[in-house]
Structure 1
Amino acid sequence: MKLLHGLFSVLFIIEFSELQGKHGFFSQALLKGEVIENMSQAKFVAGIHVPANHPNDANRIKMSTCTAFILSKTEIITNAHCVYDAPYVYVVAGTKVVSDANQKIKIIVEKENIAWHSHYSHLIFGAFDIAKITLKTPLEFSDTVGSIELVDKDYKLNDPSEVVTAYGYGVLNNTRPSILRRCDANYISDVERANTFKPRQTLDFTTGEATNDGEIITPGDSGGPVVSKTNGKIVGINTGYRTTGGRGSFLPITLFLDFIHDPKSVKPIPPPLTSNEAKFIADIMAPAKFLTAYKEDYADANETNQLNFNAIILSRTEILTCAHSVLGAPYVYLTVNKLSRNATKLKVTKDQIEIHEKCALSRFAFNVAKITLEEPLEFNDNVGSIDLVDRDYKMNDPSEIVTVYGDMVLDGTVRTRRFDTKYLDGAKCKPKLGAAFDANHLMCYTSDGSMETSSTFGPIGGPMISKKNNKLVGMTIFHLVGELVVFQPIAPLLDWIRKPKVRRNQIRSI
């Protein structure tokens, strides 16, 4: 059968689409490609019918279409945006034309049997865009209905010459019916797409053709499988957003194997905090141009480029944060009541900032700074302080639970959140963190798995509160993405916090 190279364009936000209401967008994609004439060639591909206008359409007559793939007789995988919050969907299988009314296999699936990734947000296209449908009645496998295997967790797409095949029920020329097609493509490395913003989970693929024929946007292919030509297994799932130049996006399936095997194993994202819950947390905004710790990374940044960090309100005039958040800056901005429309932004100059005399950039320990305000803060329901632990307080019970607060990148956006964790002693942290980690003065904890962090975001400078006594026991100062997070215990710093010995904005270089 003659193969026509395909063009992909997936998930384009549109205001008046077939998936109005809570969905907010429809899927698009495979326009040209080889039409599947014999379903035995693609018996693992399924279709999804979703009520397009729920809950406004009482009759639920108008349906939208997505693609899916079959993992087993009871497991179907598709995009989260295809099924998100739908009261029910239909799964069709063994068909070349998904929009046919008279399907031999058409199974209704109620909402309680549809699980989308708990980190998915319909506002952030591409990120965590995966869902699992569980059938109560198993499919009957045949020459036209079957399953496909997933690649292993350690599988890596590391050869841009590798060919993948994408499948989908995309509508050609916006004309029904939705016919199953497939198309070969090469994936594009992260280096080649470095200047294009996309969720960090996605990879691009290209057919090598330009999208200049006016047939770019058609619904139907989202959720379709991306299969390796090398091993015949699933390597990805169509997703993403509008692309040009014959490009599309897919989620590497290796990132979601845990979810696929057990959707409940993924911890929900902690909800954003209210102003009252975050009353003792503040924000530090520092001009990137001056920060000693970031000069190399931000050598070309001007004074208006800001880096954001967390801070802790100790009293009406005392603020605690990380030294590297303020080091070298002639001024910083402090924001309190940060989650309210009545947030207060104060300019703090260099002479109001004190750095611990033992702080050194080559070490994590004593990475602490204290800001003294000239005018006292006004405490209210949304602005307040947190008590410090006593000097003799020891973190020596590994079962103790602490709550970490701070700005975290979750679901693709920055929100102030908290999560509970257990701390680890310094001896357990040092093997992973190396010589720069001072096990005599520092400890660490593990993130809860839902936290995405970068060099400019994360709970850095944020408080750690004991669940036992509701007092400040630590401050986050450094993290390794997805691994260990370093914090400074507060008890050893109490003398310095209450009466700083050093009153200069300096730091040792060794």
Structure 2
Amino acid sequence: MSQAKFVAGIYAPTRYLYAFKDKLTEEMLSTCTAFILSKTEIITNAHCVAGAPYIYVVVGTKVALEKNLIKVEKVRFAYHPLYNESIVGAFDIAKITLEKPLEFSDTVGSIRVVDKDYKLNNSSEVVTVYGYGVLNSIGPLKLRRCDAKYISDVNRADTFNPVQTLYFTTGDSKKDGEIITPGDSGGPVVSKTNGKIVGITTSINGTTGGRGMFLPITLFLDFIRNPKRVKPLPTSLTPNEAKFIASIRVFPKFLTAYNKDFADYDENFQLQFNGIILSETEILTCAHQVHGAPYVYVIVNKLTSNEKTIRVTKSQIKIHEKYAFPGLTFNIAKITLKNPLEFNDNVGSIDLVDKDYKLNDPSEMVTVYGDMILHGTMRMRRYDVKYLDGAKCKSKLGDLFDANRLMCYTFDESMGDLCAFGGPMISKKNNKIVGMTITGIPDATVIFQPIAPLLDWIQEPRVGRNQKRRI
């Protein structure tokens, strides 16, 4: 323990943790790792404490048994205000402030963190990772350490946020004790060069291959010094400003466009898209976001505590008959609700442009609405753009782009990661919907579908089994 006296263990009642609330409800304690900065300051992952009314801290022990625990009430720990339990690694850090200072000894002590200007840019540098992770899915929770190397940017292209999170590899997964396992979360990543904390373990990529993910500690020094000074990002849109936006949640394993990409994901994993409220019973969205699904969920009033979720079956979803995956044209669908929505200050509709409206002025400004990920947090936002003419879109997208039916605009990646698919594009001249975002590609060109050419289809009454289509 004298070699790892700065390592602590964390116990929390699993049933309360945000990260596990939908998975485990039994009366049991989750185990994480942490590190000691001072006699009263301890750092760990946010997902190890967020939501818990209390936690336990254990120090100075090689085996994290449930004894000699220090109970810490909720008021004495804080997690980063931008932490999002649904996004792995997003601002996943917490600070615990003990009421009674620790007694430092040969087996209990502190460790320093690197300075703010420290750069993690040497892929050959070796670090040491510490944790109480469980080996082979069994106990005891024995403190271990293993050396690791960073993975370069090229090799970590699957990282959720390459600016905020880094991957490292450890030893041979077949050798007991050389890999990162459940329970190592929150543990310190220590430089072998200067002996200081350079990162905090936040997740593992499976239990084989010795691969883990950590947060560079330099990004969180302000939070560590004073958590109260780090303010959460305000919601860009008020409920009233977003009252005509709905969310569409669906299991990707059903979707024609995504089922292969998400075949190995948990059966409960869902994707979220956008929809547009046209009336008390009509929701407009992209065809690829519902095509193939036996049912989807429509969420309205999502920015308030009165959020409402409505289950919609396939029979209530009308997909344009000319839509064909993987094509982008006619990528439109209309959902008809069985029970009308109750319109109020926070739930309402928006008008469509007239059939003769032309998107032919490249200088015209329009506003795009939808969910976007900014600083690791999904937020409902809007931003102004200028659309590009057909020739420019064609030159960027080639055969993927049908200039007769689609248009595009350039998205500034500094504004976040665009997830506004299915969201409306609204004219700043008449405040009506002129288009709907369909998809985006890596060079930040976003494709949208003009509404006017599809107006007849959108406004066509739904034809039931016993009704004849009027000619």
Quickly name the TM-score band, shorter chain normalised: 0.5 to 0.7
Give the aligned length.
Answer: 343
Q: Distance in 1 between matches of 2:356 and 2:456?
A: 12
* Structure 1 CA distance for aligned equivalents of residues 319 and 211 of structure 2: 53
- Name 1:279's counterpart in structure 2: 243
Q: Distance in 1 between matches of 2:217 and 2:430?
A: 43
Alignment CA distance shift 1:241-1:305 (3 Å): closer
1:210-262 CA distance string (max 9 Å, x none): 699xxx9999989x999xxxxxxxxxx94444689998846699x9xxxxxxx
SS in 1 for 2:338: coil
1:385 aligns with 2:349: yes
Amino acid at match of 1:188: I
2:397 matched to 1:397?
Answer: no
Which residue of 314, 327, 340 corresponds with 2:304? 340
Which amino acid is the alignment partner of residue 434 of structure 1? G
| Matching of residue 123 in structure 1 with residue 83 in structure 2 | yes
The aligned residue for residue 151 of structure 2 is: 188
Match of 2:100 in 1: none
Structure 1 residues not aligned, in runs of 5+:
1-5, 16-26, 32-51, 53-61, 65-119, 130-147, 167-183, 227-236, 256-267, 505-510
Q: Is the 8 A contact 2:424 2:435 kept in 1?
A: yes
- Give the root-mean-square deviation of aligned CA atoms: 5.3
Deviations 1:476-507 (A, max 9, x none): 11112461111111111111111169889xxx
Q: For residues 365 and 333 of structure 1, what CA distance do their matches in structure 2 show? A: 24
1:91-126, Cα deviation, whole Å (9 max, x unpaired): xxxxxxxxxxxxxxxxxxxxxxxxxxxxx9663797
Output the TM-score relative to the length of structure 2. Answer: 0.57
Q: Give the Cα separation in 2 of the matches to 1:482 and 1:282.
A: 27
Structure 2 match to 1:204: 167
Pair 374,448 (structure 1): closer, same or farther in 2 beyond 3 Å: same
* 1:69-88 mapped onto 2 (5 Å cutoff): none
Q: Which amino acid aligns with 2:423?
A: G
Describe how 1:3-22 pairs up with structure 2 within 5 A: none
- Residue 375 of structure 1 deviates from its aligned partner by 2.2
Superposed, which structure 2 residues align to 1:302-321 within 5 Å?
304-321=268-285
What is the correspondence of 1:50-129 to structure 2 with a 5 Å cutoff?
A: 123=83
The answer to whether the aligner puts 1:489 opposite 2:450 as a matched pair is: yes
- Distance of aligned partners of 1:482 and 1:276 in 2 relative to their CA distance in 1, 3 Å threshold: farther
Answer yes or no: is the 8 Å Cα contact 2:312–2:337 preserved in 1: yes
Q: Is the 8 A contact 2:257 2:326 kept in 1?
A: no
Gaps of 5+ in 2: 13-33, 42-79, 93-116, 128-146, 172-176, 205-209, 220-231, 466-471
What residue in structure 1 maps to residue 425 of structure 2? 464
Q: Contact 2:189 / 2:201 at 8 angstroms: preserved in 1?
A: no
Would the alpha carbon gap of residues 127 and 286 (structure 1) be closer, same or farther in structure 2, given more than 3 Å must change?
A: closer
State the distance in 1 between where 2:240 and 2:299 align: 15
Q: Deviations over 1:425-462 (max 9, x none)?
A: 23212233231221111111222323544xxx811101
Question: CA 1:14–1:373 in 2, change beyond 3 Å: closer, same or farther?
Answer: same
Residues 288/206 of structure 1: CA separation in 2 closer, same or farther (3 Å cut): closer
- If the length of structure 1 is used for normalisation, what is the TM-score? 0.53
What are the within-5 Å matches in structure 2 for residues 151-190 of structure 1?
Answer: 162-164=123-125, 186-188=149-151
- Letter paired with 1:276: N
Cα 1:425–1:149 change in 2 (3 A) is: farther
Cα distance change, pair 14–415 in 1 and its aligned pair in 2 (3 A): farther
Deviation digits for residues 114-157 of structure 1 (CA, Å, limit 9, x no counterpart): xxxxxx9663797699xxxxxxxxxxxxxxxxxx9999xxxx98
1:475 aligns with 2:436: yes
Is contact 1:286–1:307 with CA below 8 Å preserved after alignment?
A: yes
Classify the secondary structure of the residue corresponding to 1:289.
coil
SS in structure 2 of the partner of residue 496 of structure 1: helix
Distance in structure 1 (CA, Å) of the matches to 2:264 and 2:179: 36
Distance 2:271 2:321 in 1: 24
| Aligned residues of 1:452 and 1:482 also touching (Cα < 8 A) | no
Q: Which moved more, 1:197-206 or 1:376-385?
A: 197-206
For 1:186, the aligned partner's letter is K
Partners of 1:491 and 1:252 lie apart in 2 by 51
Distance 2:278 2:341 in 1: 11
Q: Distance in 1 between matches of 2:275 and 2:82?
A: 31
Q: Does the aligned pair in 2 maintain the 1:452–1:481 contact within 8 Å? A: no
- Corresponding residue for 1:498? 459
SS of aligned partner of 1:430? helix
Residues 1:296 and 2:260 are matched in the alignment: yes
Task: Quickly say closer, same or farther: Cα 1:340–1:218, change in 2 above 3 A.
Answer: closer
Q: 1:191 to 1:312 in 2, by over 3 A?
A: same
What percent of counterpart residues are identical?
57
Amino acid at match of 1:123: Y
CA distance 1:403–1:221, change in 2 (3 Å): farther
Cα contact 1:421–1:448 (8 A) shared by 2: no
Give the corresponding residue for 2:397: 433
Task: Report if the CA contact (8 A) 1:286-1:332 is conserved.
Answer: yes
Query: Which residue pairs with 2:375 in the alignment?
Result: 411
Q: 1:473 to 1:199 in 2, by over 3 A?
A: same
